């Protein structure tokens, strides 16, 4: 066996694979030991009901719609009018940028929420509107006597479309 540096062949450039095989075997043993621990995860039961909230048809809710004010380039510049989502109160319009209007909105919420069994206010807001305005409306709802204020979102219609459909 020639260890290298001979007259005929010069320096040998063979790679010594023994340390590489040792490292691979150690890693293999580590993965074999760890794999059963990873597979013994806790399995939680999944919900058996539909994800849609079921509303009682007899129950009434107060729903407010927060619009946005936009400039000529259609960019949001602030909160717009707050409308009541009720066919009997279509003419009611409030603004949270004005303190007097904010107080009128609190009084309106207090009058309507006090008659409900669940003092919940739902808020439909423009998707482009910054959350600070929605949060400000939530605070007005709390001051008006609502126990809870929630954002109402629309269902994603994109999932209903077939793949590649128009």
Is residue 44 very low, low, confident or very high in pLDDT (cuts 50, 70, 90)?
low
pTM of the model: 0.55
Say if residue 22's pLDDT is above 90: yes
Phi, psi of 37 (to 5 degrees): -70, -35
pLDDT tens string 74-118: 888 888 888 887 766 667 788 888 888 888 888 888 888 888 878
Is residue 39 very low, low, confident or very high in pLDDT (cuts 50, 70, 90)?
low
pLDDT for the residue 144: 86
Q: Read out DSSP for 107-155? A: HHHHHHHTTSSS-EEEEEE-TTS-HHHHHHHHHHHHHTT-SEEEE----
Say if residue 25's pLDDT is above 90: yes
Domains detected in the chain: 62-151 (3.30.420)
pLDDT tens string 118-156: 888 888 888 888 888 888 888 888 888 888 888 887 655
């Amino acid at each position: 066996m020639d260890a290298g540096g001979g007259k005929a062949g010069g320096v040998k450039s063979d790679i010594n694979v023994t340390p590489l095989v040792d490292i691979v075997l150690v890693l293999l043993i580590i993965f074999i030991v760890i794999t059963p621990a990873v597979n013994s995860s806790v399995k939680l039961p999944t919900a058996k009901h539909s994800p849609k909230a079921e509303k009682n048809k007899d129950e009434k809710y107060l729903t407010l719609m927060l619009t946005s004010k936009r400039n000529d380039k259609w960019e949001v510049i602030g909160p717009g009018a707050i409308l009541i989502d009720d066919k009997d109160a279509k003419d009611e319009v409030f603004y949270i940028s004005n303190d007097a209007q904010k107080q009128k909105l609190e009084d309106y919420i207090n009058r309507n929420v006090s008659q409900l069994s669940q003092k919940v206010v739902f808020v439909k807001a423009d998707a482009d509107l910054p959350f600070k305005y929605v949060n400000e409306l939530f605070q007005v709802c709390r001051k008006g006597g609502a126990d809870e204020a929630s954002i109402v979102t629309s269902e994603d219609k994109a999932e209903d479309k077939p793949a590649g459909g128009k």
